Structure 1
Amino acid sequence: MAPTTLAGFVGGLAVLLALAATWTLGNSKASAASTAPSLAAQATTAAAPGQQQSALLDARSKGAPDAPITVFEVSDFQCPYCKKFSEETLPYLEREYIQSGKVRFVFLNLPLTQRHPNAAAAHEFAMCAADQDRFWPIHDLLFRYQGDWARLPDPGPYFESLADSASLDRGSLDRCLNSGAVRWLIQQEAQTNARAGIRSTPSFIIERGLLAGFAPIETWRPILDSLFAEKTGR
């Protein structure tokens, strides 16, 4: 997906606070399905319908569980702008908002397999890494080396080398991949995201609205700062 621009950010915080139903920064038309009040609830429902998926949700979360703000990233490991966000924006979010206890950040799956043929395999690999509490090291490696594995006819052997780099237990990894359980979980998340009107990556569910596309930290700061002040009075 193309990156967002700052054109939709005219008016600053007043515009953000006025758009209680939908946020779409950089896009002139809001998706009719991206009504804000239900987005976070749908994301939580998508991510945690059962005990196993709830545990895997925790493994792909960053930040304090009781943080006043929760951000859900809907992502595709083969998406170039998801890689850009991971490498250029997420480190700032982590330093300024996640580590400080202001934001809990949660990764949700939306592999766009019609455009990205290796995305499904990458997401299954990452979810099985989450089963070993190693999601974030694999997340970082998948995006760092996206240009290598995305072009392969079979990325499996390449993923095995990444598994060794992240110190995954290969036996547990193979059993997880062969069971097909994470494939079902990924499909459930993808379907729920689609029902919420989210069909492109990266997309971000931020409390009461949707931020679609890549955005630099300069776009994120006023959004999160205003929400934090609103929720905490600070």
Structure 2
Amino acid sequence: MSQPMKKSTYKSQRKAEAEKQEKQRKAMRKLFWAIGIVAVLGIIAALIFTPKPDPTAFEYDQLPILGKADAPVKIVEFGDYKCPSCAVFSQQIKPQIEKEYIESGKVALYFINFPFIGEDSTTAAIAAQSVYHQNNDAFWKYFDALYKNQQDEHTVWATPEYLVQLAKDNQIDVDLDLLKKDIEEGTYESEVNKHSKAANAAKVLSTPTLFINGEEFTGQFSDYAAIKKAIDEALAAGQSE
């Protein structure tokens, strides 16, 4: 027959059990703290080592292109069709780049809209995007026509009627009725807005702004010698890789 447990023995066992449970609780707290620390360190490491999106990693295949897509040097121009400086670049600098580098397959020129001068800057950009989506080659002819026929930046001149007539007068190879419809309905307004967001992400402050293989050209847009030097350096860098 079992004997009744002594009171002192019972208390000792209760104390031992309580101490055991407390040790287990402390061990679990330490484990949770360790797991928490590891998780926090993991998040910090991810923030530090995860590459951030590159704002100058342009979506070249979605932009108007002058030249060959596999050209080793890619130049992106941010421009506004109402910008007088962009007209200078179009008429004085672009032809030199085209003759010396684009025709030989060394450079491809791309264009991104950054319409900020007036409401009709956006209208002109929508018209140009309509032409681009119909015919990439026609885009560049229209691009030049817009700048050659550019009017005072302080007046509203890029109206739907003017933009369609300009395409007609310069024999731009597109469906003029579709062009008119795209302008009036703002078919490519969201695309133009996306271009503006890309400009903001790349911290573009003025037009024309050039990026050569993703690096902003910080010289004067009208200084062809400086642009040529930057292109040659980009070509040399590509050959050394």
TM score, norm. by length of structure 2: 0.69
Matched, 1:130 2:132: yes
**Could you tell me which amino acid in structure 1 is paired with residue 226 of structure 2?**
T
Determine helix, strand or coil for the equivalent of 2:56: helix
The 1:131/1:220 distance shift into structure 2, 3 A limit, reads: same
Q: 1:39 deviation in Å?
A: 4.4
Partner deviation per Cα, 1:156-185 (whole Å, 9 max, x = no partner): 222121121224322221332244331000
Q: 1:104 deviation in Å?
A: 1.1
Q: 1:199 deviation in Å?
A: 2.4
Larger relative contact order (Cα-Cα within 8 Å, sequence gap ≥ 6): 1
Question: For residue 21 of structure 1, what is the aligned residue in structure 2?
Answer: none
Q: Which of the pair is proportionally richer in helix?
A: 2
CA RMSD of aligned residues (A): 2.3
Shifted more, 210-219 versus 118-127: the winner is 210-219
Asked if the contact 2:221/2:227 (under 8 Å) is kept, the reply is no
Partner deviation per Cα, 1:123-158 (whole Å, 9 max, x = no partner): 111111112212111101100010268734662222
Asked if the contact 2:164/2:179 (under 8 Å) is kept, the reply is no
Q: How many Å separate the matches in 2 of 1:154 and 1:72?
A: 23
Q: How many Å separate the matches in 2 of 1:209 and 1:225?
A: 14
Asked if the contact 1:73/1:107 (under 8 Å) is kept, the reply is yes
Determine helix, strand or coil for the equivalent of 1:92: helix
Matched, 1:186 2:192: yes
Q: 1:97 deviation in Å?
A: 0.7
The 1:207/1:183 distance shift into structure 2, 3 A limit, reads: same
Question: For residue 209 of structure 2, what is the aligned residue in structure 1?
Answer: 203
Matched, 1:220 2:227: yes
Which of 106, 120, 123 is the aligned partner of 2:122? 120
The 1:63/1:205 distance shift into structure 2, 3 A limit, reads: same
**Could you tell me which amino acid in structure 2 is paired with residue 131 of structure 1?**
H
Determine helix, strand or coil for the equivalent of 2:54: helix
Q: How many Å separate the matches in 2 of 1:74 and 1:83?
A: 12
Which of 150, 154, 159 is the aligned partner of 1:155? 159
Which of 140, 144, 155 is the aligned partner of 1:140? 144
Q: How many Å separate the matches in 1 of 2:87 and 2:157?
A: 20
Q: How many Å separate the matches in 1 of 2:158 and 2:71?
A: 40
Determine helix, strand or coil for the equivalent of 1:106: strand
TM score, norm. by length of structure 1: 0.71
Return the index of the structure with the highest Cα Rg.
2
Q: How many Å separate the matches in 2 of 1:214 and 1:138?
A: 21
Q: Which runs of 5+ in 2 are unaligned?
A: 1-52
Shifted more, 143-152 versus 97-106: the winner is 143-152
Determine helix, strand or coil for the equivalent of 1:147: coil
**Could you tell me which amino acid in structure 1 is paired with residue 85 of structure 2?**
Y
Asked if the contact 2:65/2:109 (under 8 Å) is kept, the reply is yes
Partner deviation per Cα, 1:76-108 (whole Å, 9 max, x = no partner): 110111110001100000000111111111000
The 1:171/1:39 distance shift into structure 2, 3 A limit, reads: same
Q: How many Å separate the matches in 2 of 1:181 and 1:156?
A: 13
The 1:88/1:153 distance shift into structure 2, 3 A limit, reads: closer
Question: For residue 32 of structure 1, what is the aligned residue in structure 2?
Answer: none
